Amino acid sequence: MLARGRAAGLAAFENTLPVAAYSFRAAAICLPIFMFFKDQTSTPDDVVLSLFVDLLLFAASWAGFALASLYLAKALGVADSWPRFIAAWNWSAVVQYLALAVLSLPGLLLDKGGLLDLGGLLALFYALWMEWFVARHALRLSALGAAGFVALDLGIAVFLGGFAARITG
């Protein structure tokens, strides 16, 4: 329901820490898609380092956002809703990754660019919207407040991506 913009989908997630903890299993579902879309041009000597850095980047980004979002939720006075939010955020990531895979596949397989690359861009916009939607409704935030959670996630990803690029050079 969340994937279709229905806030009633949040009812599927209890607002408890065990439910939030269980939801991190979504990362295991998303990891293969993440690794598929990583740069595949590494030389054989760099493959192990690149793989190790990519795995660390994935875990640090996922866990880093969860931790940072808890502190942001506390600062905004909505920490009581954070377990439901993070559970919905984690599971909605599965939908986002699947949308990215499906919408980007034609451009990757046909390697034509142009309109076929538009699928990946649409998937990115969908993912940003979905993160915003989950934050807005799970935490009962204003549109701007929810955008802050999306910006936090993007900021962490950009920072860690830049850090990883420096390591793998």
Taking the C-alpha atoms of residue 47 and residue 42, their distance in angstroms, rounded to an integer, is: 6
User: Strand, helix or coil at 13?
Assistant: coil
Tokens of 41: 């041009």
CB 119 within 8 A of CB 103: yes
Per-residue pLDDT 10s for the chain (169 aa) are 877 878 888 988 999 999 999 999 999 999 998 888 776 665 666 777 788 888 999 999 999 999 999 999 999 999 999 999 999 999 999 999 999 888 877 766 676 665 556 777 888 899 999 999 999 999 999 999 999 999 999 999 999 988 877 877 6
Helices marked H in the chain? 17-22, 26-36, 47-76, 82-110, 118-138, 143-168
Neighbouring C-beta atoms of residue 128, cutoff 10 Å: 16
Residues in the chain: 169
pLDDT tens-digit profile of 26-69? 999 999 988 887 766 656 667 777 888 889 999 999 999 999 99
